[in-house]
Amino acid sequence: QVQLVESGGGLVQAGGSLRLSCAASGSTSSINAIGWYRQAPGKERELVAQIRSVGTTNYADSVKGRFTISRDNAKNTVYLQMNSLKPEDTAVYYCHYLDYREYWGQGTQVTVSS
């Protein structure tokens, strides 16, 4: 089992910044991919950003240039730095872990006011 603990969500004004953290614990593998998905009311869950254990990343087009994903392998923690936030970034953000298994965090609310 892998446990994912998210933190860092909250309320911010448009143009502001937030940093999300996801700490993975338990039976994690050395080769994995950890990412952030988000789901807004009435919309499907979508990938925001993902980082693999080798360091490669991918981002949704809507967040490129504004969000940065990084990881500290020693701490098994992934960070999502979100800058220049927009109201359309408002959603519940979920941490996602993938190796030969798949796990989800409980979600953290991000609200961007206009």
What's the farthest any 2 CA atoms get from each other in the chain?
41
pLDDT confidence tier of residue 30, bands split at 50, 70 and 90: confident
| Residue with the larger pLDDT of the pair 31 and 111 | 111
Whole-angstrom distance, CA of residue 65 vs CA of residue 88: 16
What would the pLDDT profile of 54-105 be if each residue is shown by its tens digit?
999 999 999 999 999 999 988 999 999 999 999 999 999 999 999 999 999 9
Q: How far apart are the first and last CA of the chain?
A: 40
Q: Dig out the tokens for 13 from the structure.
A: 């004004």
State how far the alpha carbon of 57 is from the alpha carbons of 3, 78, 114, in Å.
22, 12, 29
Q: Dig out the tokens for 47 from the structure.
A: 């990938």
Task: Return the closest-CA partner of residue 35 out of 93, 100, 106.
Answer: 93
Task: Return the closest-CA partner of residue 50 out of 35, 32, 65.
Answer: 35
